Amino acid sequence: MKEVRVSLIGYGVVGHGVVDVLNRKRDMLKDLGLNLMLTSITDHTGTITIDDGIDVDKILRERTLANVATSSMKGKEAIAAIDSELVVEVTPTNIIHGQPGLDHMEAALSGRKHVVTSNKGPLVVAYSRLKKLAKDNGVMLKFEATVGGTMPLISLVERTLTGNTIFGIRGVFNGTCNYILTRMAEENIPYSHALSEAQDMGIAEADPSLDVEGVDTAGKVVILANALFDLNIKYNDVDVTGITGVTPEALSLAKNRGYAVKLIGDVPALTVRPTLVPIGSPINVAGTLNSAAIYTDLSGTITVTGLGAGSIETASAILSDIISIYRTKRLNA
Amino acid sequence: MKEVRVSLIGYGVVGHGVVDVLNRKRDMLKDLGLNLMLTSITDHTGTITIDDGIDVDKILRERTLANVATSSMKGKEAIAAIDSELVVEVTPTNIIHGQPGLDHMEAALSGRKHVVTSNKGPLVVAYSRLKKLAKDNGVMLKFEATVGGTMPLISLVERTLTGNTIFGIRGVFNGTCNYILTRMAEENIPYSHALSEAQDMGIAEADPSLDVEGVDTAGKVVILANALFDLNIKYNDVDVTGITGVTPEALSLAKNRGYAVKLIGDVPALTVRPTLVPIGSPINVAGTLNSAAIYTDLSGTITVTGLGAGSIETASAILSDIISIYRTKRLNA
């Protein structure tokens, strides 16, 4: 049985999902030969150290750690002080400067701890630097949860399509935009109405600009390009157009000719823009689904679809990354 | 660098693809730390031993080994005699008695050789026995290529969705049936016309019964049920209805109500039958594509689609299995 001490940094929606999933999957993980021990949780209010007797359900009912923290340690300080070999980093993302996640990841990797994250910002800002830091310290940096939510894209390419050369990846990487475009086409309503509906349903945020302007999708394009195509690009290398200019008339015209309009991210073209997709295409998914077509030399085109977001779904991608760290041999290491 | 001596049993369409792919991917595999050496090829006419100087392109131009064999050894005898640690078994499938593949796999596993195969028959007939034989001999039996062609289904569940409980898998597992149903719906033509067209195009065989009666799909249901749901079922446990009774009128009626009719295999329901699928569903794929929806506890529904068949595509699935044998640690071994 491989014992792994895990510390969690960030206790928002995804953090709660991680605690819940690690707790629920304890026995299944032991069957795989992995004893994952959640050693600590840290948020912006402090740190709680977890030991065997602790009531996980009680912690899950707390929105922050303010009432249960056992120490005032935060961020880098907590990462350095806590005895763990793997850090799950799920603080809020910032795609411009990458903080506070960037500091957290640098502290963890420098301290020879593996990092598993759903936080796009640090990877968009400093992918190459973080990857090098991981390599120099003999640990791994895994980030399946940053792209496509529950849709297993990075691991599908790295673990399952190994042997293939990947020519390109195109897909729907933002569930909010896809929901808005789907509703506009279904009901023949303008953008503003579909946006309001999405906000009422909690699918779009009060300030939806990161989603609807294509910023979130472009961040995912940066991550895919750097991780799977070995490029070294930044956010500004992506040509981005969002969905705010799409009209119901354009959607209706497209539909009559057998097409849907989707916000498509394309690697290695490095574009994000509303794009005509044949209605019968497997990447033409509805609602909040994400999709990706992977173009390969041997396997042809493989398409995968799945839910774009969700607390448990994101935690599931994080769990899959954790397991892969301990199951994958590095033959050429 | 891990050196692996591979022997290939079967030299039909898939066997040619395997030789081609191993040859083309030699450098890429070395980058992964794997030196795969194709040591021998065996078919019903004999065996050719491969050494460094050999002209692979010349062998690829031969339809059988009759003109190039260096030995008259066949089947079990060849497997026992040849020094290799991994056998790729790609002889023609027989879903009733599993031969000759079943004998080949038993010989290989008993001789402590890993087996990678695209041959459904032996797995449908004797999955549990073969799996136990592999375990008892400390080797692996891998068969991604038996289900869904290039669509990475088994490895997706085992390697990427690890941590999830899988509730069920439903999908389109036979490209020939899917082509016929797609053309019937598109052109409003009867089954017999669409079948003739598929035969003219080489998509359906002269005797199409294994495909159109649902036998092939049912074999895949048996393999998925045994491999991913830990059941121990046989072909007769599956309730099978093929597509020969589907009429263009039924397809047209379904279409008007927003549905397509697809031949759907369902695990663990253990059914194969023409089924109504919403037109917008990700498993509603056209032409010879295959698709599978995987229902999970944490990740929701993940759908994957890909080409159903093809020599290089099948060889690609075989290559992915070979790589996984040497990259995956068994933590609880």
B123, pLDDT greater than 70: yes
What values do phi and psi take at B275, rounded to 5? -135, 145
For range A173-189, the mean pLDDT: 97
Decide if A160 and B162 are in contact by the 8 Å CB cutoff: no
| Start and end residues for every CATH 3.40.50.720 domain found in chain A | 2-149+311-327
Local confidence band at B331 (pLDDT 50, 70, 90 cut-offs): low
| Lowest-confidence segment of A42-51, A214-223, B50-59 by average pLDDT | B50-59
Q: Are B42 and B121 in contact (CB under 8 A)?
A: no
Decide if A316 and B296 are in contact by the 8 Å CB cutoff: yes
- Per residue, what are the HEC states of A45-85? CEEEECCCCCCHHHHHHCCCCCCCCCECCCHHHHHHHCCCC
| Lowest-confidence segment of A94-103, A227-236, B149-158, B315-324 by average pLDDT | B149-158
Class assignment of domain A157-306?
A: alpha beta
Mutate to test the interface with B, among A151, A183, A298, A303 (most CBs of B within 10 A): A298
Positive or negative, the CA dihedral A141, A147, A150, A152 is negative
| pLDDT tens per residue, range A271-292 | 999 999 999 899 999 999 999 9
CA distance A110 to chain B (A): 26
In terms of phi and psi (left: phi > 0; alpha: psi -120 to 50; beta: otherwise), the region of B190 is beta
pLDDT at residue number B160: 85
Q: Which of A163, A298, A327 sits opposite B328 (nearest CB)?
A: A327
Mutate to test the interface with A, among B31, B160, B284 (most CBs of A within 10 A): B160
pLDDT at residue number B332: 58
CA distance A34 to chain B (A): 7
Q: Which of B25, B299, B316 sits opposite A150 (nearest CB)?
A: B299
Q: Which residue of A has its CA nearest to B321?
A: A160
Six token digits for residue A300: 């042809």
Decide if B2 and A331 are in contact by the 8 Å CB cutoff: yes
Cα(B224)–Cα(B201) distance, integer angstroms: 29
pLDDT at residue number B54: 79
Decide if B28 and A163 are in contact by the 8 Å CB cutoff: yes
Q: Which of A25, A296, A298 sits opposite B163 (nearest CB)?
A: A25
| pLDDT tens per residue, range B20-41 | 999 999 999 999 899 999 999 9
Decide if A156 and B156 are in contact by the 8 Å CB cutoff: yes
For range A104-120, the mean pLDDT: 98
Decide if A282 and B296 are in contact by the 8 Å CB cutoff: no
| pLDDT tens per residue, range A297-310 | 999 999 999 987 78
Active-site residue identified among A220, A255, A262, A329? A220
Q: Which of B313, B329, B332 sits opposite A329 (nearest CB)?
A: B329
SS3 content of chain B, % helix, strand, coil (to 5): 40, 25, 35
Q: Which residues of A touch B283 (CB under 8 A)?
A: none
Is residue B255 part of the annotated active site? The answer reads: no
How far from chain centre, in Å, is Cα A21?
A: 16
Q: Which residues of A touch B298 (CB under 8 A)?
A: 21, 150, 312-313, 315-316, 319
A331, pLDDT greater than 70: no
Active-site residue identified among B220, B255, B262, B329? B220
ipTM at complex level? 0.92
Q: Which residues of A touch B296 (CB under 8 A)?
A: 316
Sheet containing B2-9: which strands, arranged edge to edge? B46-49, B34-43, B2-9, B86-89, B114-117, B141-142
CA distance B192 to chain A (A): 24
A25, pLDDT greater than 60: yes
pLDDT at residue number A51: 83
Strand partners, B35: B3
Number of neighbours of residue B202 by Cβ within 10 angstroms: 7
Decide if A303 and B304 are in contact by the 8 Å CB cutoff: yes
Q: Which residues of A touch B301 (CB under 8 A)?
A: 306-307
Six token digits for residue A135: 């390599």
CA distance B66 to chain A (A): 28
Q: Would the pTM of this model clear 0.90, i.e. be above it?
A: yes
Q: Which residues of A touch B22 (CB under 8 A)?
A: none
Decide if A306 and B300 are in contact by the 8 Å CB cutoff: yes
**pLDDT cut 90: percent of chain B above it:** 88
pLDDT at residue number A158: 87
Chains A & B: contacts with CB separation below 8 Å: 165
Q: Which residue of A has its CA nearest to B161?
A: A320
| pLDDT tens per residue, range B170-228 | 999 999 999 999 999 999 999 999 999 999 999 999 999 999 999 999 999 999 999 99
More confident residue, A149 or B270: B270
| Lowest-confidence segment of A41-45, A201-205, B155-159, B300-304 by average pLDDT | B155-159
Decide if A316 and B291 are in contact by the 8 Å CB cutoff: no
- Residue linked to tokens 């080949």: B104
| Start and end residues for every CATH 3.30.360.10 domain found in chain A | 157-306
Cα(A18)–Cα(A56) distance, integer angstroms: 12
Per DSSP, the three-state class of B261 is strand
Burial of residue A119 (CB within 10 Å: 0-12, 13-18, 19+) is buried
Q: Which residues of B touch A329 (CB under 8 A)?
A: 326-329
pLDDT at residue number A310: 83
Q: Which residues of B touch A291 (CB under 8 A)?
A: 282
- Which of A107-116, B53-62, B322-331 ranks highest by mean pLDDT? A107-116
Write out the E strands in chain B: 2-9, 34-43, 46-49, 86-89, 114-117, 141-142, 166-172, 239-240, 259-267, 271-278, 289-296, 301-307
| pLDDT tens per residue, range A146-165 | 998 778 899 999 888 888 99
A17, pLDDT greater than 50: yes
Class assignment of domain A2-149+311-327?
A: alpha beta
Decide if A282 and B299 are in contact by the 8 Å CB cutoff: no
pLDDT at residue number A332: 58
**pLDDT cut 90: percent of chain A above it:** 88
Decide if B159 and A159 are in contact by the 8 Å CB cutoff: yes
Local confidence band at B82 (pLDDT 50, 70, 90 cut-offs): very high
Q: Which residues of A touch B304 (CB under 8 A)?
A: 302-305
**Cα separation values, B257 from A202, B277, B279, Å:** 31, 11, 9
Q: What is the overall mean pLDDT for chain A?
A: 94
CA distance B258 to chain A (A): 13
pLDDT at residue number B44: 96
Q: Which residues of A touch B285 (CB under 8 A)?
A: 282
